[in-house]
């Protein structure tokens, strides 16, 4: 299991590797126990102390739960850090696609991401963004970076891979 990347439902995402030793010593846990907790009890669940599901966190956030909002904002920050890093590496970006569970379904998360990367030229259209699971352009017509919502279609990918392997 990898911990690298963006904070997820139960996974910490990118952290300072020295934290593993620090937690191990402070909590008197083995390295295996710490790694297991970073994979299974961190992320949304660890920060919010409520749930590993973004839908639950948004419901709680709208009701005033600050820990749930913190968990969502942490993920948004990490996503934007990656967008910025890859934009620099590629020398720019034409489009960003929101997909998978959070990308397809989390209207407010997409809004936060778009606002945070506005300095890159991304402008979200609030009305177009009010959808879940529908293929659609969600940026404004004047946005320098096009923002798309693309539903995940794992069945098509499996079929394509099967066809490719069969040839």
State the CATH number of the domain containing residue 13: 3.30.420.40
Instruction: Examine the fold and report which residue of 47, 73, 91 is the final residue of a domain before the chain moves on.
Output: 91
Longest pairwise C-alpha distance within the chain: 55
**What is the pTM assigned to this prediction?**
0.86
Residues 85 and 100 in one domain: no
Q: Euclidean distance between the first and final Cα of the chain, in Å?
A: 31
Residues 101 and 162 in one domain: yes
Q: Residue 100: what pLDDT?
A: 86
Residues spanned by the domain of 164: 93-167
What's the domain count of the chain?
Answer: 2
Residues 6 and 80 in one domain: yes
Residues 123 and 146 in one domain: yes
Average pLDDT over the chain, rounded to an integer: 93
Among 4-8, 74-78, 98-102, 142-146, the range scoring the smallest mean pLDDT is 98-102
Instruction: Examine the fold and report which residue of 91, 124, 155 is the final residue of a domain before the chain moves on.
Output: 91
d(CA 162, CA 156): 10
d(CA 36, CA 12): 11
- Which residue did the predictor score with more confidence, 98 or 165? 98
Residues 141 and 161 in one domain: yes
Reported as type and span, the H/E element at residue 24 is: helix 18-27
d(CA 154, CA 167): 20
Answer yes or no: is pLDDT of 80 > 70. Answer: yes
Instruction: Examine the fold and report which residue of 91, 109, 142 is the final residue of a domain before the chain moves on.
Output: 91
Which range in 2-11, 79-88, 93-102, 157-166 is most confidently predicted, on average pLDDT?
A: 79-88
Residues 5 and 79 in one domain: yes
Residues 100 and 162 in one domain: yes
């Amino acid at each position: 299991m990898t911990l690298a990347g963006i904070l997820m439902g139960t996974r910490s995402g990118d952290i300072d590797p020295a934290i593993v030793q620090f937690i191990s010593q402070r909590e008197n846990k083995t390295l295996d126990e710490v790694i297991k907790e970073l994979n299974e009890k961190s992320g949304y669940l660890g920060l919010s102390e409520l749930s590993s599901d973004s839908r639950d966190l948004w419901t709680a956030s709208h009701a005033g739960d600050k820990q749930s909002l913190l968990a969502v904002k942490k993920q948004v920050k990490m996503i934007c850090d990656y967008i910025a890093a890859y934009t620099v590496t590629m020398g720019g970006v034409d489009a960003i696609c929101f997909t998978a569970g959070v990308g397809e379904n989390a209207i407010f998360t997409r809004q936060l991401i778009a606002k945070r990367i506005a300095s890159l030229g991304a402008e979200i259209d609030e009305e177009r963004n009010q959808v879940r699971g529908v293929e659609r352009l969600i940026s404004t017509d004047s946005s320098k970076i096009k923002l798309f919502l693309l539903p995940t279609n794992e069945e098509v990918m499996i079929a394509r891979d099967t066809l490719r392997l069969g040839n």
